[in-house]
């Protein structure tokens, strides 16, 4: 019941989104995103900047700590200033690792502030660990073989790929990648945020299972990160243990 209520609240939030909203395209670790937004709440990171050129020079100072550079990027992003936007953009283009991802988040915030000022309306920004494209969210999925210890046959692999691609395309989505391992298939795909993802999976799995019931109805799906093979196997192991425990109680 609680899960259904949570899903209902999520759907209501999605339905209330305006027609124009922005989705972070890059794949950035969720923990880093949370850290960035915590920085934006700190009043010390929202101090006005008097000399933008001096701040930009500091960003390239090899002796300046990563923490201080993060603070400078957040301060730049908070200004309704095109020059600040360009400074963040230049830094992002040469930065690496964590600071590059941090600069991407700062650039997105700066863009939103500029757009809000220009259009005189509040901008909505959506970010997930796997990013997206346009108004589509990127998801990772694991489709489970009904025979958990077997690989899909070549005809089954082709059917999964072709049918999934067909259903996604008809819903304005896009299949980016599909790979197969023992017991499951994994994929990355884009899907419109405002469309019902559950419906497409039911139709897709029902269509495939007309030819041998080789797909389980349950799927693993997330927009937080790409799961490794070991993580999927561990999840399935825990799920099987839970199911066996429930059966024993019954």
Q: Residue 109: in which H helix or E strand, if any?
A: helix 97-119
Q: Which of 235, 230, 204 is nearest to 220 (CA)?
A: 235
Q: Which CATH class is domain 132-249?
A: alpha beta
Q: Which residues of 47-84 are buried (b: 16+ CB within 10 A; e: fewer)?
A: eeeeebeebbeebeeeeeeeeebbbbbbbbbbbebeeb
**SS3 (DSSP) at 22:** strand
**SS3 (DSSP) at 113:** helix
* Between 96 and 248, residue with greater pLDDT: 96
Q: What is the pLDDT of residue 17?
A: 67
- pTM tops 0.75: yes
Where along the chain do the CATH 3.30.70.1290 domains lie? Answer: 132-249
- Contact by Cβ (8 Å): 109, 28: no
Read off the pLDDT of residues 158-215 as tens digits, 9 standing for 90 and up. Answer: 999 999 999 999 999 999 999 999 999 999 999 998 888 888 888 999 999 999 999 9
**SS3 (DSSP) at 146:** coil
Q: Is the pLDDT of residue 248 over 50?
A: no
């Amino acid at each position: 019941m609680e899960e259904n209520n949570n899903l209902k609240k999520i759907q209501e939030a999605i339905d209330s989104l305006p027609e124009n909203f922005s989705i972070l395209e890059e794949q950035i670790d969720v923990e880093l995103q949370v850290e960035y937004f915590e920085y934006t709440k700190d009043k010390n990171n929202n101090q006005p900047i008097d000399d933008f050129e001096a701040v930009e020079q500091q960003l390239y100072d090899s002796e300046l700590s990563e923490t201080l550079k993060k603070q400078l990027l957040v301060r730049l992003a908070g200004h309704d200033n095109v020059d600040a936007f360009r400074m963040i953009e230049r830094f992002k283009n040469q930065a690496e690792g964590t600071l590059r991802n941090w600069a991407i988040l700062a650039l997105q915030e700066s863009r939103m502030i500029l757009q809000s000022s220009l259009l005189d309306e509040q901008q909505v920004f959506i970010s997930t660990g796997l990013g997206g494209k346009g108004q589509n969210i990127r998801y990772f999925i694991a489709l489970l073989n009904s025979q958990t210890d077997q690989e899909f046959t070549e005809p089954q692999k082709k059917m999964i790929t072709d049918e999934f691609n067909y259903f996604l395309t008809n819903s304005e989505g896009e299949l980016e990648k599909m790979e197969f391992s023992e017991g499951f298939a994994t994929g990355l795909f884009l899907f419109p945020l405002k469309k019902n993802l559950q419906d497409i999976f039911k139709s897709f799995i029902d269509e495939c299972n007309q030819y041998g019931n080789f797909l389980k109805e349950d799927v693993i799906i997330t927009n937080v990160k790409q799961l490794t093979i070991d993580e999927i196997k561990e999840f399935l192991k825990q799920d099987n243990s839970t199911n066996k425990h429930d059966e024993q109680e019954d």
